[in-house]
Homo-oligomer: A and B are copies of this chain.
Amino acid sequence: MLRRVSAKHIYICSPSSAVRDKAAVRRGIKRLQALGHDVEVDPDAFTSHMRFAGDDATRLAAIHRAASSGADIVVTTRGGYGLTRLLPAIRYPLLKKAVDKGTQFVGLSDFTALNCALFAQAKATSWQGPAVGEDLGAEEPDEIMLDCFEDLVEGRGEGSGWRLPAAEAQSRFREARGVLWGGNLAIIASLVGTPWLPKVRGGILFLEDVGEHPYRIERMLTQLLHAGVLAQQKAILLGQFTNWRPVPHHDKGFKMATVVAWLRSQVKIPVLTDLPFGHVPTKVLLPFGVPVHLAVDGRDAYVVWGHRH
A88, CB-defined interface residue at 8 Å? yes
Query: Is B226 touching A50 in the complex (CB atoms < 8 A)?
Result: no
- The CA of A87 and the CA of B266, in the complex, are separated in Å by 13
Query: Is B258 touching A226 in the complex (CB atoms < 8 A)?
Result: no
> A49 — which chain B residues lie within 8 A by C-beta?
252
Q: Which of A131-139, A156-164, A214-222 contacts B (4 or more CB under 8 A)?
A: A214-222
A174, CB-defined interface residue at 8 Å? no
- The CA of A47 and the CA of B20, in the complex, are separated in Å by 46
Query: Is A50 touching B194 in the complex (CB atoms < 8 A)?
Result: no
Query: Is A223 touching B194 in the complex (CB atoms < 8 A)?
Result: yes
- The CA of A262 and the CA of B27, in the complex, are separated in Å by 35
CB distance from A257 to the nearest CB of B (A): 12
A240, CB-defined interface residue at 8 Å? no
8 Å CB interface, A155-195 against B: 186, 189-195
8 Å CB interface, A242-280 against B: 247, 249-254, 258, 262
A227, CB-defined interface residue at 8 Å? yes
> A50 — which chain B residues lie within 8 A by C-beta?
251-254, 258
Which B residue's beta carbon lies closest to that of A227?
B193
> A20 — which chain B residues lie within 8 A by C-beta?
249-250
Other than A18-B250, A50-B252, give 5 A-B pairs with Cβ distance below 8 A: A85-B219, A191-B226, A192-B193, A193-B226, A194-B227
Residues of A within 8 A of B (CB): 17-18, 20, 48-52, 81, 84-85, 87-88, 186, 189-196, 215, 218-220, 222-223, 226-227, 247, 249-254, 258, 262
